[in-house]
């Protein structure tokens, strides 16, 4: 049976909520008096349709039906969930809750508020037990965290229903046990924000320099291990207690404008250390380091593909590391280590990555004969039309491999390469590929003759490799 969510407020956050539910097969009703709401939600939904399915290796449910309603009552009557995402004005939220509960007293209501406590939201409500905070992070259709904050008046059963509902659409409900202004995540971000403002105000750093300090260092660490697990590793084999003993005194030093800090009493040290043990104590420091390193590699390689932040830095560095390819038989078109994100559940490199490494080898051969980035920008290139791969031995993350490439056909529009992937340590042939490429015009997307210079280079390589058969 299809479930239905009502979204009250169709801005960036409301549109993100609508997309999250719709793309998980829910029907969605939206109410927003803004005449541009349908356009705005539609644009957010277009982005979500492109992005969210890329996270998964299977098909998502059929998209639900989206309806724009003329009133709150029409939107909320009989739905499974109501998500309020109106402007951060408490009086406005109170009026919205009153309308929702007048139309459907039993409605489960979550508020996207980033700052108000649930007890504040419940003031004057007919059914306060049905209201709680469900604070998301933008973009809601991609980022999984939802801070679920009840007050003592909230029905515990409603909270559990909410958590199950959010989990069913791929979200992570973080149950905040005690209500506090701005919940958890925004308080942490606010602390960094305040410190950043001081650094800019005092001309110590620019906004870009501050952003670079985050995205090239601790932002990556926090993105996969959080704060306390990261610091546990910093404590070495002695763990969190050693870290606190070493760096705890710094809390009294003028490293930050935020000097109101709790006393590092024995009780607080023990509380933090014990919680850290429960969180990560089943893993040794070396195991945690390997976990961290693997996560960082996967994240930074993803950023490389997008050409952003640390990925842009690595791409630029890689260009400086590349050595000119010399003619030879064979051409050493790849010399690299297999990354952790290329392995599958069997613990070895998956089939698709063999295609990747041979494709990368072909790109090097193309550049070597003159079909490089400038050539492609001019509107000419080679397209693979046939590729046969043989898998001969397992390949594991961390192994250094080479791809040896030979041009076996190089006349007219054809460029055929024979590739062998070899384990550098012992010379074992791990896989081979026979790849046929055809020269094309990127304007017509049809085959055409290569430039005379490229044709000559291809023919020369084919002759060199044929002479040594």
Structure tokens at 75: 């939107």
**What is the distance between the alpha carbons of residues 382 and 376, in angstroms, rounded to a whole number?**
9
Give whole-number Cα distances, 18 to 12, 62, 80, 139, 399, in Å: 10, 15, 14, 11, 45
**What is the distance between the alpha carbons of residues 388 and 402, in angstroms, rounded to a whole number?**
18
Of 140, 133, 142, 137, the closest CA to residue 111 belongs to 133
Find out whether 120 and 90 touch, Cβ atoms under 8 Å.
yes
Residue 45 has a pLDDT of 93
Find out whether 139 and 47 touch, Cβ atoms under 8 Å.
yes
CB atoms within 10 A of CB 162: 23
Residue 99 has a pLDDT of 97
Residue 107 has a pLDDT of 95
Per-position b or e across 202-231, b if 16+ CB within 10 A of its CB: eeeeeeeebebeebeeeebbeeebeeebbb
The residues pairing with 436 across neighbouring beta strands, listed in sequence order, are 386, 416
Rounded to a whole number of angstroms, the CA Rg of the chain reads 29
pTM for the full model?
Answer: 0.72
Tell how strand 331-337 and strand 172-175 pair up.
unpaired
Residue 30 has a pLDDT of 98
- Model pLDDT for residues 5-31, shown as the tens digit of each residue: 999 999 999 999 999 999 999 999 999
**What is the distance between the alpha carbons of residues 375 and 194, in angstroms, rounded to a whole number?**
49
Residue 261 has a pLDDT of 66
What parts of the chain have a pLDDT lower than 50?
469
Find out whether 344 and 373 touch, Cβ atoms under 8 Å.
no
**What is the distance between the alpha carbons of residues 223 and 219, in angstroms, rounded to a whole number?**
6
Find out whether 38 and 58 touch, Cβ atoms under 8 Å.
no
- Model pLDDT for residues 159-181, shown as the tens digit of each residue: 999 999 999 999 999 999 999 99
**What is the distance between the alpha carbons of residues 294 and 315, in angstroms, rounded to a whole number?**
19
Structure tokens at 341: 């994100």
**What is the distance between the alpha carbons of residues 364 and 30, in angstroms, rounded to a whole number?**
51
Structure tokens at 380: 């000419």
Which residues contact residue 393 at a Cβ distance below 8 angstroms, ignoring those fewer than 6 apart?
423, 428, 429, 430, 431
The residues pairing with 196 across neighbouring beta strands, listed in sequence order, are none
Structure tokens at 169: 């659409």
Residue 468 has a pLDDT of 56
Structure tokens at 429: 């042939």
Residue 270 phi, psi dihedral angles, 5° rounding: -65, -40
Classified as helix, coil or strand, 441 is strand
Residue 318 has a pLDDT of 77
Of 457, 463, 459, 439, the closest CA to residue 449 belongs to 439
Name the DSSP class of 340. G
**What is the distance between the alpha carbons of residues 467 and 469, in angstroms, rounded to a whole number?**
6
């Amino acid at each position: 049976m299809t479930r239905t969510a009502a979204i009250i407020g169709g801005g960036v956050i409301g549109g993100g909520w609508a997309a999250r539910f719709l793309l998980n097969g829910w029907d969605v009703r939206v109410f927003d008096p803004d005449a541009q709401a349908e356009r705005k939600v539609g644009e957010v939904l277009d982005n979500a349709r492109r992005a969210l399915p890329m996270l998964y290796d299977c098909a998502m449910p059929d998209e639900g039906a989206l309806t724009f309603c003329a009133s709150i009552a029409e939107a909320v009557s009989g739905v499974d969930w109501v998500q309020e995402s109106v402007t951060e004005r408490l009086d406005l939220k109170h009026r919205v809750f009153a309308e929702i509960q007048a139309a459907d007293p039993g409605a489960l209501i979550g508020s996207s508020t980033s700052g108000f406590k649930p007890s504040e939201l419940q003031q004057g409500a007919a059914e306060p037990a049905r209201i709680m905070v469900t604070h998301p992070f933008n973009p809601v259709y991609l980022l999984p965290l939802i801070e679920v904050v009840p007050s003592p008046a909230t029905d515990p059963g409603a909270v559990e229903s909410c958590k199950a509902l959010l989990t069913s659409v791929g979200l992570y409900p973080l149950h905040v046990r005690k209500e506090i202004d701005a919940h958890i995540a925004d308080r942490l971000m606010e602390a960094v924000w305040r410190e950043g403002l001081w650094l800019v105000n005092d001309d110590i750093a620019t906004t870009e320099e501050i952003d670079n300090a985050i995205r090239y260092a601790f932002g990556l660490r926090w993105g996969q291990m959080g704060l306390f697990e990261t610091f546990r590793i910093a404590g070495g084999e002695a763990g969190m207690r050693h870290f606190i003993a070493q760096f705890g005194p710094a809390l009294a030093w003028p490293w930050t404008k935020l000097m109101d800090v709790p006393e590092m009493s024995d009780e607080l040290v023990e509380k933090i250390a014990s919680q850290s043990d429960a969180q990560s104590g089943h893993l040794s420091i070396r195991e945690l380091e390997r976990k961290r390193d693997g996560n960082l590699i996967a994240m930074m390689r993803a950023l490389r593909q997008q050409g952003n932040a640390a990925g842009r830095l690595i791409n630029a560095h890689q260009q400086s590391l590349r050595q000119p390819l010399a003619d030879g038989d064979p051409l050493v078109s790849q010399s690299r280590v297999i990354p952790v994100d290329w392995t599958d559940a069997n613990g070895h490199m998956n089939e698709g990555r063999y295609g990747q490494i041979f494709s990368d080898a072909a790109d090097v051969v193309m550049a070597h004969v003159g079909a490089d980035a400038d050539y492609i920008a001019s509107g000419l290139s080679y397209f693979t039309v046939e590729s046969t791969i043989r898998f001969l031995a397992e390949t594991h993350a961390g192994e250094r491999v080479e791809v040896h490439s030979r041009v076996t056909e190089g006349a007219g529009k054809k460029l055929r390469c024979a590739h062998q992937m070899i384990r550098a340590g012992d010379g074992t042939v791990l896989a081979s590929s026979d790849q046929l490429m055809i020269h094309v015009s990127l304007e017509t997307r049809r085959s055409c003759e290569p430039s005379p210079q490229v044709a000559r280079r291809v023919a020369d390589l084919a002759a060199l490799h044929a002479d040594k058969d």
